[in-house]
Amino acid sequence: MSMPAMTNREAIRVGLPIFITAINMRAGLTIMSPLYPILKEQYQLSSFQLSFLTSLSVLCFAGSAFLMPLVGKIGGTNKVIAWTLSVLSVAIFLRTVGNVPMLFISSITVGIAIAVLNFSLPVWVKENAPDHSGLLTGIYITIMGTFAALSVAVAVPLAEASAWGWRLSMIPWLVIGVISSGWWLLKISKSKESGHMEVSSKFHKALFRKSGAWSISIFFGLQSMLFYGTATWLPTILVSKGYTLSHAGLVVSITGFLGSAIGIAAPHYASKLKNMRVFLFWMGIMVALSFAALIFDSGWRLIIWLLISNVGLSVTFPLSLLLTVTRSIDAGETRSLSIMAQSIGYLMAAFAPGIVGAIFDSTLSWSAALLVPVALGIALAVVGYYAGKAEKIEI
């Protein structure tokens, strides 16, 4: 006799552990960008040096997929998540109490921990609620975006609230991390789970000879370069245009949250299109134009341009992941295409904050630095037109 199907409400209840995990999965990274002007003044760091705080974490994302077969040997998925959350909490603690070298070391550790969680949560969903994967994935991605936006919003007010300075901004996320990892460790201590996380080590190398696979990978990379290259510096750019640092963080936070909320629905509607070529082309153009407007405009209208750019980036991110599904033939190829796209894409993205920061350091002009995302947006439109084809990639 078959078991009755799980309802949506039951699936949400089952998904509580990964919802708790998702709270921790972006704040440790996004909280740094509004604090860069403070860190720059306090430690006399260049824009290029500060960019490494983001780049180091993103480089860890690039190698995460190939690291997972080794991580899977730690134990089952629950144990991997529990211990990774603990590592993430330790990294934030070291950042809070450490010096400048510890800032960079903690960025590497935060990047590795988040990378492992990025890969582990879909595995957990597949193991525990495979028939409700879309529902649970949508919820935990929304939670990630919400708390990322919240971390940006409160970072500067907390940094200016006491003599602790920027270190106080880390405390809420350290407390949340400790509580979350403690909850997970208690959960696995009561669990009878055995074995290892199921992670296939097979990779379809033939994809490297397929132009379609490369177009998807480069599209993912350009989208990631745009996100990390601009998210790192947007609060600083707004300050240069007359905003206070606190207001700049709030504006970036709100527009990022609204963009994420709109982007959630993108895969559902885009999947109904015969192909996504024209849609992706115009998304790229929209992003390019919004960053061009940031160069020439000022005042309250900057909020509109930021919102438009965030909508474009929030829509193209899930679609870049969706392409690995719609253009692959089977699950094994989907995984391989996803590994290829994310590894190449995040490797490209790791250079973006440094490029933007280096251009500013050499020109002392954020207008010159903003030409980078304008050019990347145009490239995203062109590559998206080829990546959005409907044809399957046969290997």
- Local confidence band at 201 (pLDDT 50, 70, 90 cut-offs): low
Q: How confident is the model at residue 334 (pLDDT cuts 50, 70, 90)?
A: confident
Confidence of residue 149 (pLDDT cuts 50, 70, 90): confident
CB atoms near residue 365 (< 10 Å): 13
Look at 11-15, 89-93, 122-126, 277-281 and tell me which has the smallest mean pLDDT.
122-126
The candidate with the shortest Cα–Cα distance to 229, out of 388, 368, 370, 384, is: 370
In this predicted structure, the answer to whether residue 331 has a pLDDT above a threshold of 70 is no
Residue 54 CA: distances (Å) to CA of 138, 165, 182, 189, 381: 25, 20, 27, 34, 25
Whether the pLDDT of residue 23 is over 60: the answer is yes
Average of per-residue pLDDT values in the chain: 87
Q: Burial-class residue 289 by CB neighbours within 10 Å (0-12, 13-18, 19+).
A: middle
Q: What is the pLDDT of residue 322?
A: 78
- What span, in angstroms and rounded, lies between the C-alpha atoms of 375 and 278? 19
**142 pLDDT exceeds 50?**
yes
Between residues 270 and 44, the one the model is more confident about: 44
Which tokens hold the place of 323? 């392409």
Q: Percent of the chain having pLDDT more than 90? A: 46
Tell me the pLDDT band of 137, cut-offs 50, 70 and 90. confident
- Find the helix packing angle between 245-263 and 133-159, rounded to 10°: 170
Residue type, 267: P
pLDDT for the residue numbered 371: 97
Spatial distance between the Cα atoms of 182 and 72, rounded to a whole number of angstroms: 21
Q: Where residue 199 falls among pLDDT bands split at 50, 70, 90?
A: low
Average pLDDT over residues 181-191: 89
Q: pTM of the entire structure?
A: 0.81
Q: For residue 2, what pLDDT is reported?
A: 46
pLDDT at 360: 94
Q: Return the pLDDT at 308.
A: 95
Give residue 165's region: left, alpha or beta (phi > 0; psi -120 to 50).
Answer: left
Q: How far apart are CA 380 and CA 223, in angstroms?
A: 7
Question: Can you tell me which residue has the tokens 């400790």?
Answer: 178
Of the candidates 48, 19, 30, 53, the residue with the CA atom closest to the CA atom of residue 169 = 30
Please determine, for residue 86, whether its predicted confidence score (pLDDT) is greater than 90: yes
Share of the chain above pLDDT 70, in %: 93
Q: What is the mean pLDDT of residues 91-104?
A: 91
What is the Cα–Cα distance from 220 to 218, expressed in whole angstroms? 5
- How long, in residues, is the chain? 395
Q: 349-388, pLDDT tens digit by residue? A: 989 999 999 999 999 999 999 999 999 999 999 999 999 9
Neighbour-count burial of 277, counting CB atoms closer than 10 A to its CB (0-12 exposed, 13-18 middle, 19+ buried) = middle
pLDDT tens, position by position, 55-72 = 888 888 887 766 767 777
Instruction: Quickly state the pLDDT bin for 1 (edges 50, 70, 90).
Output: very low
Mean of the pLDDT values across residues 263-283? 80
Select the more confidently predicted residue: 330 or 165: 165
Of the listed ranges 8-12, 38-42, 92-96, 99-103, the least confidently predicted one is 8-12
